[in-house]
Amino acid sequence: MSELTDAKRRIIEALKRADDCTAQDLADQFSTTTTAVRQHLEALQQAGLVERFEGTNVGRGRPALRWRTTALAREFFPDRHSELTVDLVESIRATLGNDALDRVINHRSAQQLAAYQAALPSGSTELRVRALGERRTAEGYLAEVITRDNDLLLIEHHCPISSAATACQGLCRSELEIFQAALGASVTVTREEHLLSGDARCAYRISDNTSPV
């Protein structure tokens, strides 16, 4: 549902403000009928934007059905995480200097590397690279792993930190180093495509130094 009617948008906003409501609550708020509200709610439910659940029973009878927004509905509300991240990067650089910013990046990299090392299984290079791809997808990078010329390509079709990486390219440099450290000395990791260099995506070639993939 790429476009919402004004009535549906107001219902989503009301649910967001209240955490959850009954159809009657919404009907009273908008001075309309519960039938009209339920029609909107059912359409929003089909679109995956709201969900219903049984409320707590505080009296006799069956608990009233209540409605709340889903995670998918967040796209209809402003999200300034990217702006905030860029502001923080610039503030660290302006107040503490580039050396301090590098120390922050190094600290983040160390934490990220430790998490990857704990998540990657033992086994073949392909098994480990595919596990890394799954981890990156969970982080929002929409990653996939393909085989090419006896090597593996880790392709990231989306970059959730592109704004921050543009403001601080050390973040991208550290990611290449993290992949190399996480996968170990038995492979060589090189970046073949780079979003910040004008490519449509980031892609990393992983070459097995011990045997063909």
DSSP 64: P
Which CATH number describes the domain made up of 81-208? Answer: 3.30.1380
Cβ neighbourhood burial of 70 (10 Å; 0-12, 13-18, 19+)? middle
134-156 confidence digits (pLDDT tens):
999 998 888 999 999 899 999 99
Q: Alpha carbon of 102 to those of 106, 109, 168, 170, 174: distances in Å?
A: 6, 10, 10, 8, 10
Mean pLDDT, residues 15-30 taken together: 91
Mean pLDDT, residues 24-43 taken together: 94
What is the CATH class of 6-76?
Answer: mainly alpha
CA dihedral sign of residues 28, 33, 35, 38: negative
Mean pLDDT of the chain: 88
Mean pLDDT, residues 72-96 taken together: 81
45-60 confidence digits (pLDDT tens):
999 999 999 877 655 6
- For 25, phi then psi, to 5°, come to -55, -45
The answer to whether residue 157 scores a pLDDT higher than 50 is yes
pTM over 0.85: no
> Structural domain boundaries of the chain?
6-76, 81-208
Higher pLDDT, 179 or 169: 179
Mean pLDDT, residues 198-210 taken together: 90
The answer to whether residue 171 scores a pLDDT higher than 80 is no
Cβ neighbourhood burial of 80 (10 Å; 0-12, 13-18, 19+)? exposed
| DSSP letter for each residue of 70-136 | -GGGGGGS---HHHHHHHHHHHHHHHH-HHHHHHHHHHHHHHHHHHHHHHSPSS-HHHHHHHHHHHH
117-127 confidence digits (pLDDT tens):
999 999 999 99
